[in-house]
Structure 1
Amino acid sequence: MNRLFNRNRMLIILFGIIILILLIGFSMTDRDSTTRAEQFTADAAAGSQMIINAPFDFVGSLFGTISRSFNAVEENETLRAQLEMLPQMQADIERLESENAELREALDVSSKQSYESINARLISRSHDQWLNSFTIDKGEADGLSQGMAVMTPEGLIGTVTRVNGGTSYVEMLTTSVSQNNLSVEILHDGSPVYGNVQKYDKERNLLVVENIKNRSGLASGDEVFTSGLVGNYPEGLLVGTVVEVENDEYGLSQNAYVQLVSNTDDIDMVFVIERSPESMED
């Protein structure tokens, strides 16, 4: 009985091997279509592959999403920092444009004058002396000396009163120190009328020019320049414009009230005027 069972089992195995060989041989032949068995086997293999790959694809997609999230957070932080810097960058651009305009204006004014000038920048100005003085970044090493005139791009602003090695102290025209020996000429209809700056009227924010001859004909809008007759001031530095003319208390001469052309509240770039020996001899 056992022998018969073993023989039948062998026959079944041999028959299965023969069928498998036939199927393999049949599948290797050139055909335009596949059998249902092949289709079933291919579909089963593909389905199994999808099932096996699904967890790996899910994990890879999850890690990719997390990585993109971290990258997005970092990119957002970078963009936010750049956005926060925009106002500062805009302010820097406007400041540089303003400084360039001032430098071009100062260079243009300086190039039109016959005297030598030394460009400087305000570096210190105390609030309690706001209308009296300030410090600039040029000194004796740069050729500055006491008594030199100091101008803004608009006009005269003060006098160098103390010189250090690399800095200098400037007294503004609003103080009595800078007003000493300041002789001016006022042009009226092309003719000069001379006078002396005596004081600064702080209530009206105007220079007071005295000792002007009577019936000079001065009028509002006449321009005031340095005369070059006294001190180290060269001739022709613009000081301001006349806003009012009146007789003095004795009626012997006239006084002129002059508005400075320089903005005393906004001083940055200045240039110091060096009077040449030739002009002093003249």
Structure 2
Amino acid sequence: MSPVVKRKGERFTLPSKYLLFILTILCTVMMLVTFGTNVFNRPFNRVVGYVIVPFEQGIAKAGEWLSNRSDELVQIRTLLAENSALKEQVASLTEENTLLQQDKYELNELRGLLELDEEYGDYNKIGARIISRDSGNWYSSFVIDKGSNDGLADDMNVIAGGGLVGRITSVGPNWSRVTSIISDNSNVSGMTLATGDNLIVSGDLQLMAQGVISFSKLVDSQDAVVEGDKVVTSDISDKYLPNILIGYISTINKDTNNLTKSGYLTPVVDFEHLSEVLVITDKKQQIPSGGNTDGK
């Protein structure tokens, strides 16, 4: 009889009768183990104790470890969800706080303008918001959101922050450009409030880096003007209404001619931070002849 050669690739199959025989043997062994627990008593129990018990303990510890890891995963998911919710809450509160700060700033601005409106109550005024400005750190020239459609015109005075900002120099239908008193080549005819002595306030953006602008042509033969005196627009200005606060004298120097004095003053307006202004719609009566034409 020729031997049976297993071909490559053929799967090994166990006949059903052999499989049934093996299962019968396994069942018999299991029955003997169960029966042996009572027959052999201690010797067999010891063997079982050495083999089965450590295995069961290992399974129990593994189950406990998996249970703990499962609980930790649940806690981590909960913490991640809470963390995400807290981040959203912080973002919402931060946005709300920013809006509140902005509202507070605008409220303070409006309060300041209201006080200014009351201080110069004799003049008709209209509020306006700054919508753009020239490059640089200072509001030397800027554009507001009101124009000829709102009744504004050239040379109307602009105030904010307690005093004089400048005047309108060009107007469109819904916008106006304001040139401030700190701009280069800007000149304002002023006077000291305490003594009534006249002087000329001149803009200088380089000086504004030190927080001051210059004044000149002060006639003070009695040496009555001192540092800290208020300077306001004078009655003889042809562009600016009288008695609008410009600033405070910080330095006084006697000129070489020994007739006049010059120096520096600190503007009352914060020209680094402006957002809202008031435009005085009343214009200074133009001098018919012989008046200044250089923006004084």
TM-score range, shorter chain: 0.5 to 0.7
Query: In the alignment, is residue 211 of structure 1 matched against residue 217 of structure 2?
Result: yes
Aligned counterpart in structure 1 of residue 189 of structure 2, from 173, 180, 183: 183
CA 248–275 in structure 1, closer or farther in 2 if over 3 Å, else same: farther
TM-score (norm 2): 0.63
SS at match of 1:192: coil
Task: Using the TM superposition, give the Cα deviation of residue 132 of structure 1 relative to its aligned residue in structure 2, in angstroms.
Answer: 2.5
Q: Which residue of structure 1 lines up, in the alignment, with residue 143 of structure 2?
A: 135
Change beyond 3 A, Cα 1:116–1:228? farther
Cα distance between partner residues in 1 of 2:249 and 2:205: 14
Matches within 5 A, 1:161-172: 161-172=169-180
Residue 232 of structure 1 contacts residue 275 of structure 1 at CA under 8 Å; is this kept in 2? no
Q: Is the 8 A contact 2:148 2:171 kept in 1?
A: yes
Match of 2:253 among 246, 251, 257: 246
* More displaced stretch, 264-273 vs 205-214: 205-214
2:125 matched residue in structure 1: 117
Q: Give the TM-score, by structure 1 length.
A: 0.66
Runs of 4+ in structure 1 displaced over 3 angstroms?
Answer: 69-80, 128-131, 276-281
In the alignment, what sits opposite 1:220? 227
Is 1:194 matched with 2:229?
no
> Any idea what SS the aligned residue of 1:127 has?
coil
What letter corresponds to residue 192 of structure 2 in structure 1?
I
Q: Which is helix-richer, 1 or 2? A: 1
1:171 Cα shift?
Answer: 1.0
Cα distance in 1 for residues equivalent to 2:124 and 2:287: 13
Alignment gaps of 5+ in structure 1: 1-68
What does residue 144 of structure 1 align with?
A: 152
State the shift of 1:205 in Å.
4.1
1:93–1:171 Cα change, 3 Å: same
Amino acid at match of 2:225: L
| Residue 90 (1) aligns with residue 97 (2) | yes
Separation (CA, whole Å) in 1 of partners of 2:132 and 2:287:
31
CA contact (8 A) 1:183 1:229 kept: yes
For residues 164-214 of structure 1, give each alpha carbon's deviation from its aligned partner in whole angstroms, at most 9, with x where no partner exists: 1111111111124542xx2111023xx311112244372444222222213
The aligned counterpart of 2:264 is 257
Q: Cα 1:220–1:198, aligned 2, differ >3 Å: closer, same or farther?
A: same
Mapped pair 1:271 → 2:278: yes
Question: Could you tell me how far 1:230 is from its partner in structure 2?
Answer: 1.8
What do the CA deviations read for 1:130-176 (whole angstroms, capped 9, x no partner)? 45311111111111111111111321111111111111111111124
SS of the residue corresponding to residue 87 of structure 1 reads helix
Bigger drift between 199-208 and 223-232 goes to 199-208
Q: CA RMSD in A?
A: 3.1
Q: Equivalents in 2 of 1:71, 1:219: separation in Å?
A: 71
1:171 maps to amino acid? T
Counterpart among 146, 150, 155 of residue 163 in structure 2 = 155
1:30-109 matched pairs, under 5 angstroms: 77-109=84-116
Change (3 A) 1:107 1:211: same
2:238 paired residue among 231, 234, 253: 231
